[in-house]
Amino acid sequence: MLRVNAINKGIVLDHIQAGNGIRIFERLRLKGADYPVALLMNVESTKMGRKDIIKISDTLDLDLTMLGLLDPRISVNYIEESRVTSKVHPGLPERVDGLIACKNPRCITTDERHGPSSFTLLDKETKVYKCSYCGERVRM
């Protein structure tokens, strides 16, 4: 069993679907971090078989909507003095503002003078979202 030191203060992203960790690691721009970070892949999990874990020795201001969108099963554990002080399960967001670009070239949100895009969850099972402006559907 591979061991990584427990972190004193920071954030542990747990229950990441195996194989998804690298995507989240990149999306959070952890490659350029100047504090200790760890990406653990294919860790054995009684609940999930295999999972990925990301440990961050820093208190980042994480975008929970984005994390829930990238991985609906992810759990976010905030650590202080080596103990979990709070745990959040973002889940699949009902509404996503400014994170998804609409693929419809005629959509008003493709005009950069327009404000951020806005999508609402249409189908939880298939992760399909609908553009609030033109109705274009996108599968995450």
Binding site for Zn ion (CB under 5 A): 102, 104, 107, 131, 133-134, 136
Q: Could you tell me if 42 and 50 are in contact, meaning their C-beta atoms sit under 8 angstroms apart? A: yes
Tally Cβ neighbours within 10 Å of residue 46: 5
Of the pair 36, 116, the CB lying nearest Zn ion is at: 116
Q: Which spans in the chain are helix H?
A: 21-27, 64-70
Q: How does DSSP classify residue 100?
A: S
**Burial group, residue 21, by CB count within 10 angstroms (0-12, 13-18, 19+):** buried
Of the pair 77, 118, the CB lying nearest Zn ion is at: 118
Of the pair 30, 138, the CB lying nearest Zn ion is at: 138
Q: What is the closest distance, in whole angstroms, from the C-beta atom of residue 109 to Zn ion in the complex?
A: 5
Q: What is the closest distance, in whole angstroms, from the C-beta atom of residue 122 to Zn ion in the complex?
A: 13
Q: Could you tell me if 38 and 13 are in contact, meaning their C-beta atoms sit under 8 angstroms apart? A: no
Q: What is the closest distance, in whole angstroms, from the C-beta atom of residue 33 to Zn ion in the complex?
A: 34
Q: Could you tell me if 140 and 123 are in contact, meaning their C-beta atoms sit under 8 angstroms apart? A: no
Of the pair 40, 100, the CB lying nearest Zn ion is at: 100
Q: What is the closest distance, in whole angstroms, from the C-beta atom of residue 130 to Zn ion in the complex?
A: 9
